[in-house]
A and B are shown apart, each in its own frame.
Chain A
Amino acid sequence: KAGVTQTPRYLIKTRGQQVTLSCSPISGHRSVSWYQQTPGQGLQFLFEYFSETQRNKGNFPGRFSGRQFSNSRSEMNVSTLELGDSALYLCASSATPGTSGKMGVETQYFGPGTRLLVL
C-alpha cells in the first residue's frame, strides 16, 4: 500500500500571503489529522477530519483551516501568513476507529511533511 503523501514538500512564502497544503491518506483510511511541528513546541495538533467533517480542533487561530473531500484527501489553508507559521506541517491518516485496530484504537501514519518557510 502506498503511504501518506503530501504536496508540496517545500514552500517559501512572504508574510501576509496565504498557502494551501495537500494530503492524500493511505488508501482506505478515512481519518486525516494535521499537525504543526516546530523545534520549540514539538508536534501541535491542528485538526482532524473524518468523512468530510471536522471532528476535532486544536488551539490554533482561525487563520488555520482545513477541509476533506469525498475521496478522503484533505487540504489545509493558512491565511495571512506570519513569520511564526514557519514549520513542518505533517499530515497523518488512520483507518475508521473500530474497523481494524484493537480496542477501537487506530494508529496514525504520517506523511513526509511540508516544510513552510515564511519570510
Chain B
Amino acid sequence: EDQVTQSPEALRLQEGESSSLNCSYTVSGLRGLFWYRQDPGKGPEFLFTLYSAGEEKEKERLKATLTKKESFLHITAPKPEDSATYLCAVQANRGGYQKVTFGTGTKLQVIP
C-alpha cells in the first residue's frame, strides 16, 4: 500500500529562520510527487511537481527536491505570509489510472 509520511507535523519558525519540511514515501512505480500549500478553509494551491530523483524546483523562497525515498521542501528566509499547511502527494500508475496519495501535512507558522 502506498504511504506518504510528512514531518514534522507542525513547525514554528521566526521570520528569516530557514528550515526544511520532509515528505517520505513508500510507493512502487512513482510517476510524480506534488507539493501543495493550503490556507485554512481553502483548497490546496499547487506549488511543484517533481518527476524523478535528483530533480529540483524553485519558486520564490521555496525549493523542492526529490530523492528515491523522500522529498524536501526548503524554505529560505520565511515570511509570515508563508504560514500555511504544506501537503505532499505521490502519484503512481495503477492499472490504467493514476492513484494519488496525500500525506497529512506540515503546519508551518512563521512568527514576525
A residues apposed to B, CB below 8 Å? 4, 6, 33, 35, 42-43, 45, 48, 50, 55-56, 88, 90, 97, 101-113, 115
Q: Which residues of B contact A108 (CB under 8 A)?
A: 34, 46, 100
* Chain B contact residues, CB within 8 Å of chain A: 31-32, 34, 36, 41-46, 49, 51, 87, 89, 91, 93-94, 96-105
A-B contact pairs, 30 of them (CB 8 A): A6-B43, A33-B100, A42-B102, A42-B104, A43-B44, A43-B87, A43-B89, A45-B100, A45-B101, A50-B97, A90-B43, A90-B44, A101-B32, A102-B49, A104-B93, A105-B31, A105-B32, A105-B51, A105-B91, A105-B98, A107-B46, A107-B49, A108-B34, A108-B46, A108-B100, A110-B43, A111-B43, A112-B42, A113-B43, A115-B41
Q: How far is the CB of A35 from chain B (nearest CB, A)?
A: 8
Q: Are B51 and A109 in contact (CB under 8 A)?
A: no
Complex Cα spacing A48 to B94, Å = 13
Contact present for B51 and A103 (CB under 8 Å): yes
Find out whether the CB atom of A42 lies under 8 angstroms from the CB atom of B44: no
- Add 12 more A-B contacts to A43-B44, A103-B31, A106-B98 (CB < 8 A): A35-B102, A42-B102, A42-B105, A43-B87, A43-B102, A55-B96, A101-B32, A104-B93, A104-B98, A105-B32, A105-B49, A113-B42
Chain A's closest residue to B95 (CB) is A56
